[in-house]
Amino acid sequence: MLERIKASIPALPPAEQRVARLLMADPRGFATSPVGELAVRAHVSKPTVVRFCRSIGYDGLADFKLKLAGNVNEGVPFVHRAVDDDDKAGDLVVKVIDNAVAAMLRYRNAAASQAIERAIAALAAAGRNGQRIEFYGVGNSGIVAQDAQHKFFRLGVTAAAVSDGHVQVMSATMLKPGDCAVIISNSGRSRDLLDVADIARKKGATIIVITASGSPLALEAQQGAHHILLAADHPEDADRYSPMVSRLLHLLIIDILTTGVALRLGSAQLRPMLQEIKKNLRLRRYALAGGAEGDSESSSSTP
């Protein structure tokens, strides 16, 4: 949480930067001090302290201090442990699972609920109004974009996943105000995705960025009123092995957004459609010996 805030300092107004520096100097004291004392120590007004909390994605001072206290007092019960060349299978099981659990718990404690709320509202509005939701990613993030498209199109919204750089440029160029461009990147440094963000911004679309704090893409997402940053930070060394933890975090964020949008669209509209989808998919299955049902990919029975 503190690392993400530290990376966000350059994008804050000067007065809010003073609040941020006070926080970084004494996180525990910040979590327990009243707003008046914080304002005096940072040489700012009380509303500036509250604005700082909202600028970095929280509902206000109370919400921010609650999350901060959880980080500085309780911490996360697991730590990231890098895999080694001589690790046995049992060691890998423990390390890989513990690393995933630690990252998710850390995200739970640091997640900026205001930013998530804004993202859900923008996506739900686009879905309700029949506008486009485009998911952009390259490499591993392209797989997450495909998963997001798979989840969102079942909600009856116009969703697409684009991973080819040239097609991304064409897609972003066709965006309009009210459309949503969801840009997913582990490093936040992909030239293609930075170009997509720039084009989408010029087209007036809402830009939702899922990436690491302090990256060029994250800084881009903090510049506009229609830009929303959903920071996903982790200690994973992508040069050592495949970036699995970051992918799990990104998939988790997509699940949160999907659930929020589904709730916003309403069960009265979605439930009949989802039930019909399940019914039609069930009809695509083949009967196995003994009357059991299985997936069509695992059966060679003639329909």
pLDDT in tens, 52-83: 988 888 888 888 887 787 666 554 444 556 77
Distance CA 42, CA 26 (A): 12
This prediction's pTM: 0.69
CA 117, 122, 127, 132 dihedral sign is: negative
What confidence tens digit (pLDDT) does each residue in 235-266 have? 665 555 556 788 899 999 999 999 999 988 87
Flag the least confident range among 45-49, 129-133, 219-223.
Answer: 219-223
What confidence tens digit (pLDDT) does each residue in 92-131 have? 787 788 888 888 888 887 788 888 999 999 999 999 999 9
Distance CA 45, CA 301 (A): 74
pLDDT value at residue 284: 76
Confidence of residue 207 (pLDDT cuts 50, 70, 90): very high
Task: For residue 60, give the 3-state DSSP assignment.
Answer: coil
The total of other beta-carbon atoms located within 10 Å of residue 245's CB is 23
Both tokens of 75, joined, read: 């911490």
Confidence of residue 30 (pLDDT cuts 50, 70, 90): confident
The percentage of residues in the chain with a pLDDT greater than 90, rounded to a whole number, is 41
Compute, in degrees rounded to 10, the torsion defined by CA atoms 113, 20, 194, 207: 30
Nearest to 162 by CA among 149, 153, 173, 179: 149
Is the CB of residue 133 less than 8 Å from the CB of residue 155?
no
| pLDDT, averaged across the chain | 83
Distance CA 135, CA 119 (A): 13
